[in-house]
Amino acid sequence: MWLVLRVPRRASVRRERALWGGGILGGVRDIDVRRVGYGYFVRPGEETGTGVARVEPTLGYLVDHPAAGVILVDTGMGGNAEVDAWYRPTRVALAGALKGAGSDVHDVRAVMNCHLHFDHCGGNPELAGRPVFAQRAELELARARESHTLPELVDHPGARIEELDGDAEIAPGVHIVPTPGHTAGHQSLVVSRRDGTLIVAGQSHDNATLFTGDVLGRRAGIGTQPDWLDRLLAFDPKQILFAHDNAVWTP
b vs e for 164-181, b when ≥16 Cβ sit within 10 Å of the residue's Cβ?
A: beeebebbebbbbbbbbb
* pLDDT tops 50 at residue 84: yes
* pLDDT tops 80 at residue 2: no
Predicted confidence at residue 151, as pLDDT, reads 92
Q: What pLDDT, in 10s, does the model give residues 17-42?
A: 345 665 654 456 899 999 999 999 99
184-190 mean pLDDT: 98
Distances from the Cα of 161 to the Cα of 3, 138, 164, 181, 232, angstroms = 14, 12, 9, 22, 25
Distances from the Cα of 234 to the Cα of 190, 197, 217, angstroms = 11, 10, 16
**Are the C-beta atoms of residues 109 and 71 closer than 8 Å to each other?**
yes
The identity of residue 41, as a single letter, is F
Predicted confidence at residue 69, as pLDDT, reads 97
b vs e for 219-233, b when ≥16 Cβ sit within 10 Å of the residue's Cβ?
A: eeeeeebbebbeebb
124-143 mean pLDDT: 97
Predicted confidence at residue 146, as pLDDT, reads 83
DSSP 147-188: -SS-GGGTS-TT-EEEEESS-EEEETTEEEEE--SSSTT-EE
* pLDDT tops 70 at residue 4: no
**Are the C-beta atoms of residues 155 and 149 closer than 8 Å to each other?**
no
* pLDDT tops 90 at residue 147: no
Domains delineated in the chain: 24-241 (3.60.15.10)
* Angstrom distance (rounded) from CA 200 to CA 38: 16
* pLDDT tops 90 at residue 234: yes
Q: Report the predicted TM-score, pTM, of the whole model to 2 decimal places.
A: 0.90
Q: What pLDDT, in 10s, does the model give residues 46-68?
A: 999 999 999 999 999 999 999 99
**Are the C-beta atoms of residues 109 and 4 closer than 8 Å to each other?**
no
Distances from the Cα of 201 to the Cα of 36, 61, 103, 198, 232, angstroms = 14, 10, 22, 9, 9
CA 85 from centre of chain: 25
Mean pLDDT of the chain: 91
b vs e for 17-32, b when ≥16 Cβ sit within 10 Å of the residue's Cβ?
A: ebbbbbeeeeeeebbb
* Angstrom distance (rounded) from CA 8 to CA 69: 10
* Angstrom distance (rounded) from CA 48 to CA 53: 7
pLDDT band at 141 (very low <50, low <70, confident <90, very high): very high
